[in-house]
Structure 1
Amino acid sequence: MARAKMLLVEDDAALAELLTWHFQREDFDVAQTPDGEEALILAQERTPDIVLLDWMVENLSGIEVCRRLRRMNETANVPIIMLTARGEEEDRVRGLETGADDYVTKPFSPRELIARVNAVLRRVRPALAGEMLTFGDLEMDTVAHKVRRAGGLVPLGPTEFRLLRHLLEHPGWVFSRERLLDSVWGQDSEIELRTVDVHIRRLRKAINAGGLPDIIRTVRSAGYSLDADAA
């Protein structure tokens, strides 16, 4: 199972320590800060799979951190769960309207929060919930490194496999060539952007062999997406 990267933004030191311990025990890779401004820097340096964000943190409010995370390309689609002592409906609505995916009111049990986090991750990052990724008639076994389309084995090179895995982990999301380059080749890669196009063409040829519908959508001036409507 893939290890999920969590960014925990909480200025209550005791609670932050407790949550870090519980989520590390569940095999999460936890980065923690009490500071809203530092949280934005950490999110840019290493894109998290999920953010736990307290409403009241140092320097920037949780609401403002949430708003800025949604504006950043790296974190625009990262799920955010807000933690707060505020229980009023108006505050909950404000948090959700700012871009939060879920809302947990203190006091809460770590067990409940873990369940809520896993539920969100299963919805948005299926690779973090199991070893088999599927999209329509396309299946990827991430452990055996095998891909099948309509029951037939699809031969893929290592780069095409990583590229397809990334798209399968985020079905429907549109990724620019720059984002794909960072995610599949790594941020320190000196590979040219057009290399992404070459590997997308190879991937298309492999998974569409035999006249199968093309499920990779090219979005003009934006990038690529795994989309059933592409065909």
Structure 2
Amino acid sequence: MEKLKILVVDDESRMRKLVSDFLVKQNFEVLEAADGEEALDKFYADKEIALIILDVMMPKINGWDVCKEIRETSKVPIIMLTAKGEESDELLGFDIGADEYISKPFSPKILVARVEAILRRTGKTGEDEVLEIGGITIDRLAHQVKVEGKELELSYKEFELLTYFVENKGIALSREKILNHVWNYDYFGDARTIDTHVKKLRSKLGSKGEYIKTIWGMGYKFEVEE
């Protein structure tokens, strides 16, 4: 499936990089703009932009005006970012057509989750909401896992870990790669964190825990015998 394009607009290069890194990690293609004028130029030049993450306080043209202009011709989803937490600002954002409003500082992982939720809502993502393999069913939206129809009680990280394994079935995954994707790149723990979670996950999966194979000296691989 072709990667969805997201336009990230912020005059702070550090903020653009932070948001972009998280989006790229989730398989999105990212375009960047440092001000409102550049944002409009890039938006008009590329008809495949699926969503815009738009900062409010910017030079040349502010985020409110960018949003208003885009709304005159397009219904592309827009997430507004602002350092202001005033309710009146939030209401203004919705009044001019923003789909979501996030105040700084924010967690990039939460932002990515909002992006994915909006794209699902607007039907722009082809991602399967339910993954099924070897008697295991993962419902992403409900955050629920069933084994042979019986629901499992998994922690948030166990759910994320299992989903990541299933999405990458048959692929050898290093501990570093798992840390980067499940615990995110700024996590400074050690690999034993993964081993502990894998041990618990295997135990909860019962006989299906055998699907998580250990690759000695490297990491793990999720494999279901056909």
- Residue 113 of structure 1 aligns with which residue? 111
Provide the C-alpha distance between the structure 2 equivalents of 1:65 and 1:56, rounded to a whole number of angstroms: 11
Structure 1 unaligned segments of length 5 or more: list them: 133-231
Alignment correspondent of 1:100? 98
Which position in structure 2 is the counterpart of 1:29? Answer: 29
Query: Counterparts of 2:60 and 2:37 in 1: how far apart (Å)?
Result: 6
2:150 — aligned with what? none
Q: Which of 85, 89, 92 lines up with 1:91 in the alignment? A: 89
Map residues 23-62 of structure 1 onto 2, 5 A cutoff: 23-47=23-47, 48-62=49-63
**Residue type at the aligned position of 1:57:** M
- Give secondary structure in 1 for the equivalent of 2:92: helix
Note the C-alpha offset of 1:131.
9.4
Partner of 1:145: none
Question: Any conservation in 2 of the 1:2–1:128 contact (CA below 8 Å)?
Answer: no
Question: Post-superposition, which runs of at least 4 consecutive aligned residues in structure 1 deviate over 6 A?
Answer: none
| Pair 39,128 (structure 1): closer, same or farther in 2 beyond 3 Å | farther
Change (3 A) 1:91 1:19: same
Aligned runs of 1:131-170 on 2, under 5 Å?
none
Partner SS, residue 49 of structure 1:
strand
CA deviation vs aligned residue, 1:132-157 (integer Å, no higher than 9, x gap) = 9xxxxxxxxxxxxxxxxxxxxxxxxx
Taking the aligned partners of 1:101 and 1:62, their CA distance within structure 2 comes to 13
> Is 1:121–1:129's contact at 8 Å kept on the other side of the alignment?
no
Q: CA RMSD in A?
A: 1.7
Question: For residues 3 and 129 of structure 2, what CA distance do their matches in structure 1 show?
Answer: 12
Q: Give, as a single letter, the amino acid of the residue that structure 2 aligns with 1:60.
A: I
- Secondary structure at the aligned position of 2:11 is classed as coil
Taking the aligned partners of 1:63 and 1:129, their CA distance within structure 2 comes to 31
Q: Percent identity over the alignment?
A: 40
1:126 CA drift (Å): 4.2
TM-score (normalizing by structure 1): 0.53
The size of the alignment, in residue pairs, is 129
Q: TM-score, normalised by structure 2?
A: 0.55
Q: Give distance in 1, aligned partners of 2:44 and 2:52.
A: 13
In structure 2, what residue type is equivalent to 1:51?
A: I
Separation (CA, whole Å) in 2 of partners of 1:95 and 1:28: 25
Distance 1:118 1:30, change over 3 A: same
